[in-house]
């Protein structure tokens, strides 16, 4: 599974600072104009994991772009905001994606911004509706975990981000600095495919964490405990009839959408 | 005298082999006009139960040629529910209704000394409600049917139950004065009243499910998807060009299974 994909490799402090300060600049501008933009991807994990964020650099996790979640109803405002910050839009992406995604570039600074409207729609669909007001400057912790766990062909960069998150935040039933496992369990209990991929990837995180020399033994153990508690909570959630019917078919029919590598 | 499950059940059980394909199960359900089969091995052991609702998975998940091929290989053993939800024939109707309601299921296998002797489903309980009514026969209004397959929101619930039983339907469509679909009353909606008794003043308005519609041009897969995701057994078929108009019909899980049983269906190849 481990590979040298996009998002992995050595990255100097100056380059990391460039992304982090640009994120800060965009968030300040969006706050000032009332546009709801919430960071997702590697920078979200860095921002939300002040204690264990150092692991990204230590484990060779690099920033490649800045990703945001936003509401489609504010797409016009997002475009104006990004233009005011010196970005030019690749309009074809918005048209081809039928308004689900915008890409902005600031070529002179080597910066690339991706905005996902209303949902993240890769192997599984994670909806933003009513969730972008919960946390800032990132999406809620539960969506951050799902963002990674919904990727069937999960990469090392996603494993590293997830390990950081599990070390930094406990599970709970709210969105207040805990990973809302109640919400994750409810979503997985209504969609067998999402449950299948999420439980499979949590287990992968547990296994792969044991092989990282950058992690201390107690940290590896903590990741295992966190994964076990999440899986137990997901198991406990009552499942829908559709879930039960789909589970009987199991892996014999593909349960996810094929996508290109996400980053 | 307290009625028991034996009084309302359908005697006899129909079985299929665990190796029966979904297409073969569809044919059996359709030929015998039943909604469930007991899956039985060569030694006569009852392994589980498979229903028309389970067969919806075929249409639901056959989104492309690859998935269809995988689903065509599935057997009754793959999709059956086990262990079977069962009830002894001597159990009171009220207690059996409680089991159905509490487990949110549609039927129970009826046993005697541990051996299946019949099946009791939501429709049988609805027939039980309907048979309690003792209509006066003084006027035309007293004997007319308030609902055949369609009724208005103020139709008494007891009347809807009677009509469903007489017509052999498992649901009644509820419409407004202009014919627009407002909801559906199914046998499942009436189940709580088997347990606690029915208030004769109740109308279909109080128990109907909101109308879940589907366009007439939608595929069977889309219909199956909508039924499964919403845990409904039937959908109101409308014309998207005129969605407010009187519905074109109702499609049920059984209709989809009947199509799966059609010799020209992909499930028979």
Nearest CA in chain A to B52: A245
Give B104's contacts in chain A (Cβ within 8 Å): 241
List, for residues B9-66, the tens digit of each pLDDT value. Answer: 989 889 999 999 999 999 999 888 888 999 999 988 889 999 998 998 988 898 889 9
Q: Do A245 and B56 touch (CB under 8 A)?
A: yes
List, for residues B234-243, the tens digit of each pLDDT value. Answer: 888 888 888 8
Give B54's contacts in chain A (Cβ within 8 Å): 245, 248
Q: What is the pLDDT of residue B159?
A: 87
Q: What is the pLDDT of residue B233?
A: 83
Distance from CA of A206 to the nearest CA of B (A): 31
**Alpha helices, H only, chain A:** 13-33, 42-48, 54-58, 75-84, 91-96, 141-149, 156-168, 181-190, 192-209, 217-236, 241-249
Instruction: Compute the mean pLDDT over every residue in chain A, rounded to the nearest whole number.
Output: 94
Residues 54-73 (A) with a CB less than 8 A from some CB of B: none
The residues, ordered by sequence, that sit 6+ positions from B120 with a Cβ below 8 Å of its Cβ are B5, B8, B9, B10, B87, B96, B107, B108, B110
Q: What is the pLDDT of residue B215?
A: 86
Could you tell me if B77 lies within 8 Å of chain A, comparing CB atoms? Answer: no
Q: What is the pLDDT of residue A2?
A: 45
List, for residues B210-251, the tens digit of each pLDDT value. Answer: 888 888 878 888 888 888 888 888 888 888 888 888 888 888
Q: Do B228 and A241 touch (CB under 8 A)?
A: yes
Q: Do A253 and B70 touch (CB under 8 A)?
A: yes
Q: Are strands B107-112 and B115-121 parallel, antiparallel or unpaired?
A: antiparallel
Could you tell me if B189 lies within 8 Å of chain A, comparing CB atoms? Answer: no
Torsion angle in degrees (nearest 10) through CA of A178, A179, A180, A186: -160
Could you tell me if B32 lies within 8 Å of chain A, comparing CB atoms? Answer: no
The predicted complex's ipTM stands at: 0.74
For residues B183 and B150, is the Cβ–Cβ distance under 8 A? no
Q: What is the pLDDT of residue A100?
A: 96
Distance from CA of B253 to the nearest CA of A (A): 14
A102 pLDDT tier (thresholds 50, 70, 90): very high
Of the candidates A19, A244, A7, the residue with the CA atom closest to the CA atom of residue A148 = A7
- Could you check whether the bond before residue A254 is cis, i.e. omega within 30 degrees of 0? no
Which residue is listed with tokens 């589970």?
A: A247
List, for residues B190-202, the tens digit of each pLDDT value. Answer: 888 877 777 888 8
Q: What is the pLDDT of residue B131?
A: 62
List, for residues A41-72, the tens digit of each pLDDT value. Answer: 999 999 999 999 999 988 988 999 999 999 99
With 60 as the cut, is the pLDDT of residue B121 above it?
yes
Give B61's contacts in chain A (Cβ within 8 Å): 246, 249, 253
- Rounded distance, CA A70 to CA A86, Å? 19
List, for residues A17-42, the tens digit of each pLDDT value. Answer: 999 999 999 999 999 999 999 999 99
Q: Do B71 and A246 touch (CB under 8 A)?
A: no
Give A242's contacts in chain B (Cβ within 8 Å): 228-229, 231
């Amino acid at each position: 599974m481990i590979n040298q994909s996009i998002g992995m490799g050595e990255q100097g402090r100056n380059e990391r600072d460039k992304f982090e300060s640009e994120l800060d600049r965009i968030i300040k501008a969006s706050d000032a104009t009332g546009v709801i933009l919430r960071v997702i991807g590697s920078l979200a994990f860095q921002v939300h994991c002040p204690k264990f964020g150092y692991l990204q650099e230590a484990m060779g996790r690099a920033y490649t772009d800045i990703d945001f979640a936003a509401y489609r109803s504010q797409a016009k405002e997002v475009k104006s905001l990004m233009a005011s910050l010196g970005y030019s839009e690749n309009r074809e992406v918005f048209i081809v994606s039928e308004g689900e995604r915008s890409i902005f570039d600031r070529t002179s600074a080597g910066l690339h911004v991706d905005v996902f409207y209303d949902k993240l729609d890769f192997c599984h669909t994670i909806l933003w509706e009513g969730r972008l007001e919960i946390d800032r400057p990132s999406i809620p912790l539960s969506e951050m975990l799902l963002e990674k766990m919904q990727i069937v062909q999960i990469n090392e960069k996603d494993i590293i981000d997830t390990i950081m998150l599990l070390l930094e935040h406990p599970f709970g039933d709210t969105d207040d600095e805990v990973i809302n496992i109640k919400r994750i369990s409810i979503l997985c209990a209504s969609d067998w495919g999402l449950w299948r991929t999420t439980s499979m990837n949590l287990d992968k995180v547990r296994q792969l964490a044991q092989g990282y020399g950058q992690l201390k033994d107690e940290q590896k153990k903590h990741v295992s405990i966190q994964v076990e508690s999440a899986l137990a909570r997901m198991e406990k959630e009552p499942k829908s009839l559709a879930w039960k019917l789909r589970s009987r078919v199991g892996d014999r029919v593909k349960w996810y959408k094929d996508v290109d590598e996400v980053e | 005298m307290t009625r028991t499950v034996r009084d309302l059940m359908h005697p006899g059980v129909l079985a299929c082999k665990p190796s029966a394909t979904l297409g073969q199960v569809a044919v059996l359900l359709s030929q015998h006009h039943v909604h469930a089969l007991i899956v039985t091995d060569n030694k006569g052991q009852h392994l589980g139960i498979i229903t028309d609702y389970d067969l919806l998975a075929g249409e639901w998940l056959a989104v492309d040629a690859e998935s269809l091929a995988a689903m065509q290989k599935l057997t009754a053993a793959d999709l059956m529910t086990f262990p079977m939800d069962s009830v002894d024939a001597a159990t009171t109707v009220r207690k059996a209704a409680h089991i159905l309601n509490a487990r949110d299921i549609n039927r129970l296998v009826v046993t005697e000394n541990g051996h299946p002797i019949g099946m009791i489903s939501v429709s049988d309980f609805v027939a039980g409600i309907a048979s309690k009514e003792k209509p006066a026969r003084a006027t035309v209004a007293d004997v007319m049917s308030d609902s055949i397959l369609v009724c208005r929101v103020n139709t008494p619930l007891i009347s809807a139950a009677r009509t469903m039983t007489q017509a052999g339907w498992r649901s009644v469509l509820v419409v407004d004065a202009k014919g627009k679909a407002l909801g559906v009353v199914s046998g499942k909606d009436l189940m709580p009243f088997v347990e606690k008794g029915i208030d004769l003043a109740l109308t279909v308005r109080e128990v109907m499910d909101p109308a879940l519609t589907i366009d007439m041009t939608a595929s069977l897969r889309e219909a199956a998807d909508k039924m499964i995701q919403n845990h409904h057994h039937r959908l109101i078929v409308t014309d998207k060009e005129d969605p407010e108009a009187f519905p074109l019909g109702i499609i049920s899980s059984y209709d989809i299974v009947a199509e799966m049983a059609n010799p020209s269906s992909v499930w028979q190849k």
